[in-house]
Copies of this chain bind each other. A is one copy, B any other.
Amino acid sequence: MPPFDVPEGDPFGPHNLPYGVFSLGGPGTGSDSGSDGKSNSDSGRRSVGVRLGDHVLDAGAAAVELGSPYAALLARPSLNPLLAAGRTAWSDVRRAITAWVTVPAHRETIAPLLHPLSEVTLHLPFEVADYVDFYASENHARNVGQIFRPDAEDSLTPNWKHLPIGYHGRSGTVVVSGTEVVRPSGQRKAPADPAPVFGPSVRLDIEAEVGFVVGTPSAMGTAVPLSGFRDHVFGLCLLNDWSARDLQAWEYVPLGPFLGKSFATSVSAWITPLDALDDARVAPPTRTHPLLPYLDDASDASEDPGGYDLRISVAINGHVVSEPPFSTMYWTAAQQLAHMTVNGASLRTGDLYGSGTVSGASDNERGSLLELTWNGRDTLELPDGKRTFLEDGDTVTLTAWAPGPHGTRVGLGEVSGRVVAGA
């Protein structure tokens, strides 16, 4: 029997230990935070929690009870102090918590601090500083190119293989899993229409992504090299980059996506530390174009191969529609970090960057409805009806796991959201 009654093989066993922020009481919906991620924000004291099976350990209270020197990092209403503490502290704290949940001598102290997931509310676990979204899947970029530029000689833009394309998104509308997503309104205009019309989006989509959370800041005017990735990035989460394709198509030339994306970005309530994912590290796909030195991970001295083998699953109303493999991403999170800072842009604790839509090579590995339905040309057959894009009432849930030590699986926290009509 594994420690503290977590079943053998549980993807949230003591080899995982992702971090979140919780308060007692809640809607009883497990990892959801209720119909409005903000409505419960004051319904109880917030503390850093660590997931163990289907329970949450009150890590703040545990640290206090056990007289841990990390109480100052854990008995807090946000992960930000822990994020800011740096890589050595991340490892030390993880080692301490592993001991708390595995050493029998701690059982009497820890057991009363484990709360069933169904009895807590999970909150946005950190204060998002800047939010950047990348575009790092070659399959996704080629699909999008073929859909929107069918006559182009190359489905990729000329820069795509030379740099990880990215743009800034709206950090103020990053919400935790469980937060309802109000269908956005805005302008849309098909090329043949005489003028734009205004109304609720008719092409509401998702993008299955992985989000990376920066802990250690960097100074303006300095670049973070590839080898600095693990010093600066604390962990990862699942991320759904909700997208209104009709708004986006009309607005995005020449300055990029704006209202088509800024209405909501959902992240999982659990941040998985990179320290839990050492067995999931894989080499990225072979690069077909030579890279400038600051992006060249083949010749980089660090031992980290850069890729992560994360198996993502996309479900609509509980029905799996796609299983995007993160290992296929052309650009790694380390390359994205190096690129993002090579111009001297600083990092702040709480910076979040999304990988871009994860799409594999196969039809059933695509990370957006845009690709799965080829921009609405095809339909998805679900038990509750056909879909091209999302309908009001649809719930989209991303889940994922990664290979862990000794044949285990490391579960990532789900990110889920239900679409509701605007007022």
The interface of chain A, by Cβ under 8 A from chain B, is: 38, 129-130, 132, 135, 157-159, 162-163, 165-173, 175, 182, 184-187, 189, 195-198, 220-223, 244, 247, 250-260, 262-264, 290, 292-294, 339-340, 342-348, 351, 422-423
- In the bound complex, do residue B162 and residue A196 qualify as a contact, i.e. CB atoms below 8 Å apart? yes
**Contact (A135, B173) CB under 8 Å given A247-B343, A343-B186:** no
User: How many copies are assembled?
Assistant: 2
A68 to B102, CA, bound (A): 57
Residues of chain B within 8 A of A342, CB atoms compared: 185-186, 259
Q: Which of B157, B184, B198, B263 contacts A253 (CB 8 A)?
A: B157
Residues of chain B within 8 A of A195, CB atoms compared: 162, 290
Residues of chain B within 8 A of A343, CB atoms compared: 184-186, 244, 247, 259-260, 262-263
A343 to B265, CA, bound (A): 13
Q: Which of B173, B293, B423 contacts A198 (CB 8 A)?
A: B293
Q: Which of B168, B247, B345 contacts A167 (CB 8 A)?
A: B168
- In the bound complex, do residue B182 and residue A262 qualify as a contact, i.e. CB atoms below 8 Å apart? no
- In the bound complex, do residue B345 and residue A262 qualify as a contact, i.e. CB atoms below 8 Å apart? yes
Write 20 A-B pairs (CB below 8 A) sorted by A numbering. Answer: A130-B170, A130-B172, A132-B258, A162-B187, A168-B258, A172-B347, A173-B220, A182-B220, A182-B344, A185-B344, A186-B342, A187-B292, A196-B292, A197-B292, A222-B423, A247-B343, A253-B254, A255-B256, A256-B256, A260-B343
**Contact (A168, B262) CB under 8 Å given A187-B163, A423-B222:** yes
9 new A-B contacts, CB < 8 A, other than A163-B250, A172-B348, A259-B342, are A162-B189, A162-B196, A165-B251, A166-B258, A167-B257, A184-B344, A259-B340, A262-B340, A263-B343
A423 to B221, CA, bound (A): 8
A200 to B157, CA, bound (A): 24
Residues of chain B within 8 A of A344, CB atoms compared: 182, 184-185, 263-264, 422
- In the bound complex, do residue B170 and residue A345 qualify as a contact, i.e. CB atoms below 8 Å apart? yes
A58 to B320, CA, bound (A): 61
**Contact (A171, B255) CB under 8 Å given A186-B342, A187-B163:** no
